[in-house]
Amino acid sequence: MTSLQKKLLLALVILALASPLGIYLPEKFNAGDAWGEWSLETVKELVGFEPAGMKKNAELWQAPIPDYNLGDEKSPFTVQALSYIISGIIGLVLCMGLLYLMARFLFQKKE
């Protein structure tokens, strides 16, 4: 593993560990949902209408861990924070695996 790859991996792990800020900061400042993670209903409240594309595709994808939470909305912050970290690490591992497979496919050694 090169020095650049190690730095990139370290940065990604730090971001995964910092992910609970996404639930802590909106709660601390009474900001509602984390930025950009709004439901169709919340978007309608914010902008006054439901965007057609969002409404059409709202049910297309269901998150494997809804709201990044292994408990529920009333779970203690530690459970929610741990859920966010686990979600971040799962996403990191899946992205790294996909990139690895793509790199192997695209940069095959020619003999």
pLDDT single digits (tens) 9-47: 899 889 888 878 877 888 788 877 777 778 888 899 989
Q: At what angle do helices 77-106 and 3-18 cross, to 10 degrees?
A: 150
DSSP H helices, 1-111, are: 3-18, 21-28, 40-47, 52-57, 77-106
Report d(CA 24, CA 22) in Å as an integer. 6
The pTM of the whole model exceeds 0.95: no
Structure token pair of residue 91: 């996403």
| Distant-in-sequence, close-in-space partners of 40: CB < 8 Å, separation ≥ 6 | 50, 54, 55, 58
Please say whether the beta carbons of 92 and 12 come within 8 A. Answer: yes
Please say whether the beta carbons of 83 and 70 come within 8 A. Answer: yes
pLDDT for the residue 29:
85
pLDDT in tens, 41-88: 889 998 999 999 988 888 887 777 777 778 877 888 888 888 888 888
User: What is the DSSP secondary structure assignment for residue 33, as one 8-state letter?
Assistant: S
pLDDT for the residue 24:
81
Q: 110 pLDDT exceeds 70?
A: no
Domain-wise residue ranges, the chain: 3-36+66-106
pLDDT for the residue 84:
81
36: alpha, beta or left, given left = phi > 0 and alpha = psi -120 to 50?
left
